[in-house]
Structure 1
Amino acid sequence: MSIAADENFAYVIRGGQPIHGTLIPGGNKNAALPMLAATVLADGPVELANLPKIRDVMVMLELLSSLGAAVEETAPHTWRIDGSRVNVYKAPAALACEIRASFLLAGPLLARHGRAELPRPGGDRIGRRPLDAHIHALQALGAEVEVGPDRYSLRASKGLRGADIFLHEMSVMATENTVMAAALADGATTIRNAASEPHVQELCHLINAMGGSVCGIGTNTLEVEGRSRLGGATVTIGPDPLEVGSFIGLAAVTGGELRIVDAEPEHHHRMTKLCYGRLGISWRVEGNDIVVPAEQELVIQDDFHGAIPKIDDGPWPAFPADLTSISVVLATQARGTILIHEKLFESRLFWVDRLIAMGARIVLCDPHRAVVVGPSKLHGQNLASPDIRAGMALVIAALAAEGKSVIHNIRQVERGYQNLHERLHDLGADIERIEE
């Protein structure tokens, strides 16, 4: 196993063609990463099926291997990880600094080995992303934490003990780290103000499959009964709701018909149907599939009280922050005016200057809010992808635009979307991946 080489690649996209066909969504990236970290807790092998083949996941697999885990691909998108062989508690900076999810190893390493040394994690630069909630929760379980200029040193010299913990922010990763540490702690742990996103639920179900005890899954209060050991397990990762939401938007703005199979629609009706509906986007459910009809007329729905309608994000089950960038692009193709309010990250909307260069009418009110007036005819441009979700938003914009676009730094996009150019090509998009 090795991570793909770091050559620079770009997408060349000629827009204006509707996508059409059938899409099988990849596995949930945001579930895969904590579930990989959780393999360190087990005394035996854990097999994860439907693991997405994306850069962030490959980095995490190599990171586990560098710590001593036995890592093997047993079938396409199925990996067996034996975390019982982990014998190193210090994560190599070259790998750990690439992904923010590397800090998810703090809880498992503390629980199994009593020590963890991790560099400041990488990931998207979308604003301040402090780790305070992680540190406070791990300290409540008995960890001693030293924060250096570029490294965190954690130690549980007296072991971890169950505690009643209130997370001061409803952080997904802090919830995951706390659950994993508590799974092997001595006694019971209550985690209040816990995140409840589908990927948090998948992690909790994995811990239970390994012999753990996590109750309250899907709520904001988790009860974890610590175990002396956890065993191996075999689980299948669910479809990525953010990928599904991205492709729903892509189909709508290009005017094509798309069937997304095995999409677990219940995860999307609550998250996206209301907010996408404000842009005039609809779809129907057929069994476990989502079908986006062709040639939808996108019209922004008026607010009942005459105010500018708004799309804003929030913790589950509200609209996910990772779809706000894509919502901005969708709004440029809808008739009317709408406010996009990104509440969580103060730098996530700074990329909209690229859409303005393509012809969009957008006013960036402040770091958290943008007003979009549509529809706008977009024109192809040379663009650079700043992060995973804004990068996918630019791909969607380029496919909806007239003319040729070149999107650079696609390594960012491919951190979250597997085989993107091939899958788009299969749906009728004029897209080429070239080496720069």
Structure 2
Amino acid sequence: MTRSSAVSAAEVIAIRPGEPLVGAVRVDGSKNAALPLLAAAAAMGRLTHLGNVPQCQDVRTMLGLLQQCGYSIARSVTNPEEVVIQPVSGARTPPELPDAARIRASYYLVPALLAACGQARLPWPGGCPVGERGMDLHFRVYEAFGDRVLLDSDGYQVRRAVTRTRAKEITLPFRSRGATVAAVLRAVIDHCWLTLLQPNLSPEVIEILAFLREAGWEARGDGDTIILAPPFDSEDGSLTWEVPGDKVEAVTLACAVAVSRGCASIKGVRAMDVLPVVEAFAWLGIPAHAGAETVTVQAIDTQLTGQPLRAIASLSPGGLDADFEPSLMALALGMPGVHLFADAINPGRHGNLIPQLARLGAVIEQLSATQCRFSGPQRLVGARVTANDIRSGSTLIVAGLTAEGVTTVTGMTQLRRGYANLPNKLRQLGADITEDAA
């Protein structure tokens, strides 16, 4: 096999409609939770055993970047989902990290670099082309701690303040997940008290707070405030923690089961993390239940309500995660009603996804760059489409399960950035998905 054909085989999959999806499958650890947890473990400066770490490409990239920063990273030989992070010993020169431009979450590296090197030099975030990843709020957080921020066309530099901050109160103008994690981890490396007003309290941030409590910190958050207080005594023992199950993969699989009118259990995900989607299923008339670690979808012989779905991505506590919105769109295309979708958090995502769905025959009215509506049910027909970002790729696979004929999805490199092997999980449930060379 030539190099070009090997790349092609890995880049293209074919989906054919078939029988309803049935059975049980377990999700991987969450990429969105693993990335900040890895950064938190590094910033903590203690030996950390982190379990259930997914093997998707973005996490692999983050582990490689932490190694370049001087952290010792090892995966267990017997369990590749277990990662051991060893703290940096001694002062280090800040490394050049061009690979950080490959992922959007590279900004989580800043506190780890400040702890290890006293300064961070990073290229502008890359990853999914779903709109600019604004860094201004991150910089305001670091400047509030007295750090110096320098910008140029290639990236940015943050230099740690000489004087350690003892206590800090910061108010965020909006509920940014990245800026919330930046503020929390910046407080960790200074071992200081923090009051953070109007934080993001997504499950990923709540997980960081729980990890800090395991490390001896007081860390609590409600709808309006996060409060941190360091341990009274210096802690130096090792830490053990588990990355939670991937809620986005669980929702994607649930939508796939629902569009196929199947019945399946999706294991390894917490009920509270997927509650907005379970409620959306109930609104549409699709029976679904979220237990302690399992989501069950029973879409066989359902009586649909015909009620229109409003899927509006939100940063508010309990709101719809923006990464849930695309898969719900694929589901709603087959549901009766006039449905409204909006994602102002990732303003480029609709531009990536809607033209590809149109190739399958979907008729979607774009009200703006971030809002659209459409009537269902619609008839989709297989075609060649492209995954332009992680979640668009998984959505096209879900849509292909209902399209007549063969749907060919290219650009699978994007999908593998966020999922270790989503097609294989769908095959476990009976989906007709194969790798193609063209």
Are the aligned partners of 1:252 and 1:296 in contact in 2 as well (CA < 8 Å)? no
In the other structure, the counterpart of 1:274 is 279
1:170 equivalent to 2:175? Answer yes
Question: Are 1:262 and 2:268 counterparts?
Answer: yes
1:23 positional shift = 1.1
CA-to-aligned-CA distance 1:255-296 (integer Å, 9 cap, x gap): 111111232213222x21233333333312455322111325
Alignment match, 2:322:
321
User: Contact between 2:359 and 2:385, CA under 8 Å: does it hold in 1?
Assistant: no
CA gap 1:18/1:90 in 2 versus in 1, 3 angstroms = farther
Query: Are the structure 2 counterparts of residues 20 and 89 from structure 1 closer, same or farther at C-alpha, using a change threshold of 3 Å?
Result: farther
- 2:194 counterpart SS class: strand
Deviations 1:214-273 (A, max 9, x none): 232x5431112246965431111111111111111110001111111232213222x212
Q: Which residue of 2 aligns with 1:360?
A: 362
The superposition leaves residues 315-368 of structure 1 with CA deviations (integer Å, 9 ceiling, x where unpaired) of 231111111111211111001211112232222211211112212121111111
Paired letter, 1:265: A
Q: Which stretch shows the higher mean deviation, 335-344 or 289-298?
A: 289-298
| Change beyond 3 A, Cα 1:296–1:372 | farther
Look up the SS of the partner of 2:41 in the other structure: helix
1:311 is paired with a residue whose SS is strand
Residue identity opposite 1:141 in structure 2: F
Matches within 5 A, 1:47-58: 47-58=49-60
**2:340 corresponds to which residue?**
339
Instruction: Give the match for residue 83 of structure 1.
Output: 87
Which whole-Å CA distance do the structure 1 matches of 2:93 and 2:36 have between them? 17
Q: Provide, for residues 108-150 of structure 1, a one-character-per-residue CA deviation record: whole Å limited to 9, x for no partner.
A: 3224432111111112111232011111011101111001111
Q: Percent identity?
A: 27
- Given the two structures, how large is their TM-score scaled by the length of structure 1? 0.91
Structure 2 CA distance, aligned partners of 1:178 and 1:360?
42
After TM superposition, the structure 1 = structure 2 runs for residues 282-321 of structure 1, keeping only pairs within 5 Å, are: 282-285=287-290, 288-297=293-302, 299=304, 301-302=306-307, 310-315=310-315, 316-321=317-322
Counterpart check, 1:388 vs 2:390: yes
Amino acid in the other structure paired with 2:63: L
Change (3 A) 1:286 1:192: closer
Change (3 A) 1:287 1:60: closer
Q: Quick one: distance in 2 between partners of 1:196 and 1:11?
A: 36
Q: Secondary structure at the match of 1:122?
A: coil
Take 1:255 and 1:349, find their aligned partners in 2: how far apart are those partners?
26
Matched letter for residue 247 of structure 1: L
**In 1, distance between residues paired with 2:109 and 2:90?**
11
Which amino acid in structure 2 is aligned with residue 187 of structure 1?
C
- Residue aligned with 2:366, SS: strand
Contact residue 14 and residue 430 of structure 1 kept, 8 A: yes
Q: Is the 8 A contact 1:213 1:225 kept in 2?
A: yes
In the alignment, is the contact (CA less than 8 A) between 1:300 and 1:337 conserved in 2? no
Shift in Å at residue 85 of structure 1? 4.2
Structure-2 change in CA distance of 1:337 and 1:195 (3 Å): same
- Give CA deviations for 1:86-109 in whole Å, capped at 9, x if unaligned: 855645443101111111011232
Task: Sort the Cα spacing of 1:91 and 1:123 in 2 relative to 1 into closer, same or farther, 3 A.
Answer: farther
1:372 has 2:374 as partner: yes
- Which of 202, 208, 213 aligns to 1:208? It is 213
Partner of 2:3: none
TM, length-normalised to structure 2: 0.91
Q: How far apart, CA to CA, are the structure 2 residues paired with 1:368 and 1:263?
A: 29
Gaps in structure 1 of 5+ consecutive residues = 1-5, 303-307
**Deviation, structure 1 residue 10:** 1.2
Match of 2:249 in 1: 243
Q: Aligned partners of 1:98 and 1:314: how far apart in 2? A: 26
How many residues get paired?
A: 424
SS in 1 for 2:102: coil
Mapping of 1:149-168 within 5 angstroms? 149-161=153-165, 162-168=167-173
- In the alignment, which residue of structure 2 is the partner of 1:116? 120
Query: Which residue of structure 1 aligns with residue 434 of structure 2?
Result: 432
In structure 1, the partner of 2:147 is 143
Quick one: which amino acid aligns to residue 411 of structure 1? T
CA contact (8 A) 1:193 1:221 kept: yes
Q: Identify which range, 8-17 or 387-396, moves more after superposition.
A: 8-17
Cα distance in 1 for partners of 2:175, 2:102 equals 24
> Any idea what SS the aligned residue of 1:321 has?
coil
Change (3 A) 1:92 1:404: farther
Query: C-alpha offsets along residues 128-173 of structure 1, whole Å, 9 cap, x if unaligned?
Result: 3201111101110111100111121111241441311011221111
- Aligned residue identity for 1:431: I
Q: Deviations over 1:21-49 (max 9, x none)?
A: 10111111111001111222233321110
Q: Comparing 222-231 with 160-169, which one deviates more in the overlay?
A: 222-231
Tell me: CA distance 1:50–1:187, structure 2 relative to 1, closer, same or farther (3 Å).
Answer: closer
1:234 equivalent in alignment to 2:235: no
1:10-25 aligned at under 5 Å gives the runs 10-25=12-27
In 1, are the aligned partners of 2:98 and 2:122 still within 8 Å (CA)? no
Q: C-alpha distance in 1, partners of 2:301/2:95? A: 49
Once the two structures are TM-superposed, the CA of residue 191 in structure 1 deviates from its matched residue by 0.8
- Indicate the residue corresponding to 2:199 in structure 1: 194
Deviates more, 1:331-340 or 1:220-229: 220-229
